Each structure stands twice: as structure tokens, then as C-alpha cells.
Amino acid sequence: MLDGLLKLNNESLADLVKKLRSGRMVAPFSTLQLEGAIPGRGELIATSLSSLAASGLSEAQIADLIESVVADRRARGGSSAGDLVISGPEVDGLPTRDTGVVIRELFRGAEKSVLVIGFAVYQGREVFEELALRMQAVPTLEVECYFNIGRGYRDTTRDEDLLAKFVHEFKTRHWPRAARLPAIYYDPRALRLEMNERASLHAKAIIVDGHQVFITSANFTEAAQERNIEVGLKLEDTVLATQLTRHFQGLRDAGVLKRVI
């Protein structure tokens, strides 16, 4: 009965609970009804919910059961089912979801901490607007960003000037004006003059509140967030979130990654 539900991440399960308790989702549960709530998994979830309803459980009791699943996962601190995020051109029968929508949802729900890891930033003001608003709404929210700051081919500009240019462009073009700034770190090796010694901070991920993880191919650009064909995985996993956070903060604390803002 629970097979379909167990394939959902905690966020999707919590959304189901809200709909069940509000009366927006009632038996008999149809694939069409569930597909609108959880694209690509409507039939599977409808089958699970219908089985539970057929066993005599009310919508409120089903919501209680789902909440117990979420509570057990969080108590164990282990992984839950991931949510595949594939964005790009829409094709009949192939569910897609804009990467930008997922990222804004993550930013909007942050309560304690956000760790952003990315390679390229372009037209970032739209991408980061929700994060800046959340930082304003929650003054205690701690936000760290790890970005690649590199040099172009045969560019011999001083490191200090390239860093100053990045800071200026981030403040004026990529971050909402007058908003509290996040802490930003970079890998100095990306600025080395010798090509054979140069390295890029190429990872792309977001960790929210120590348990939500989004790993994606998408850069923090308008094109990547809204138009490109990108693939990502969003899941609730305290262990993975902790490992990723410790890795990047460990590089920071060891001086491998330097702070620029």
C-alpha cells in the first residue's frame, strides 16, 4: 500500500498531507488529480492512496500515516526518495520542471542555513531574488556561497583586479540592491596564470537547513534556470547534506577556498 508513497521525498509527502487535511484531495483518488500535484508519479501515488482508502482509512488517517513516515525518516537522519528535476523543452508524455522553480522553493523555505555552490553566475539578480528576500525576512539565516572566479584565456589581469570586478558585478548585477549580502568564497587556483595549474570550482549544489539537498547540472544563470536542458536531483538526506557542508566548509577552514565578500 505504501510502495508509491515511499518513493516520494519528505517535501512531496508534506504537501500531500496539507492537501489531505485541507480537503483539496479526497477519495476516490484519481491519476489526473495526483498528476497535477506530483507530475510523473500521479498513477503510482493514486494507486497507493486508493489502496489505503479501500482499507477503511479516512483522509485524515492517511495524512497521519504519511506524517509518521516523514517523522521516522527524519529521526533516522537517512536518505529519502529523491525528486528528479529535468528542465528543458516540453514534450508530451515527458514531465519537466523548471530548475529555477525548484531553487526558488528551496530558498523560500529556508529557516537556518543555505549553502550555495555554483560555477557560473549570469543575470543572477532574478535567480537570487528569493534568497535575498528570505535573508531579509529571517535575519538569522546564514548563507554561504562558493563560486568560481576565473580568468579568461590569455588574460593577465592582476588577481586583485579580477576579484574586485567580480565583487562589483555581483553587487550591481547579480544580487538585489540594498539586500544583505551572503558570504562568498572562491578557489584561488582558478586565477592562476599557468593554464596547467588552473582549476575550476565546477560543482553545482544547494544545501538548505542541513537536510535538503539539490545537486544539479545547472549554473546560476537565467538560461540554465529557465531554458536549458538540465538534470538535477532534489532529496532530503541529513547525512548527505552534512557531508557536503563539511567538505566545503572544511576547504574554507583550511584556507583552500578564500573569502571575497
Looking at per-residue pLDDT, the higher value among 127 and 192 belongs to 192
The pLDDT value given to residue 79: 53
Distances (CA, A) of 49 to 34, 84, 133: 10, 21, 37
Q: Is the distance from CB of 215 to CB of 204 less than 8 angstroms?
A: yes
**Cis preceding linkage at 28, omega within 30:** yes
CATH class, domain 85-259, is alpha beta
Q: Which backbone phi and psi does 230 adopt, to 5 degrees?
A: -130, 155
Considering just the CA atoms, what is the radius of gyration of the chain in Å? 21
Give residue limits of the domains in the chain: 3-75, 85-259
Asked if the model's pLDDT at residue 45 lies above 90, the reply is: no
Q: Which residue has the higher pLDDT, 137 or 221?
A: 137
Measure the CA–CA gap between 86 and 83, rounded to whole angstroms: 10
Question: What proportion of the chain, given as a percentage, has pLDDT over 70?
Answer: 93
pLDDT, mean of residues 63-68 = 92
Residue 80: band (very low, low, confident or very high) from pLDDT cuts 50, 70, 90: low
Burial 63-73 (b: 16+ CB within 10 A, else e): beebbebbeeb
CA dist list (Å): 115 to 38, 92, 207, 212, 248: 26, 35, 5, 10, 9
State the average pLDDT over residues 121-147: 94
What is the per-residue pLDDT for 78? 56
Average pLDDT, the chain: 89
Q: What count of Cα atoms within 13 Å lies in the side-chain half-sphere of residue 126?
A: 11
Instruction: Provide the pLDDT for residue 88.
Output: 85
DSSP calls for 35-78: HHHSTT-HHHHHHHHHHHHHTT--HHHHHHHHHHHHHHHHHHT-
Residue-level pLDDT at 168: 96
| Residue 43: band (very low, low, confident or very high) from pLDDT cuts 50, 70, 90 | confident
Q: Quick check: 73 pLDDT over 80?
A: no
pLDDT at 177: 87
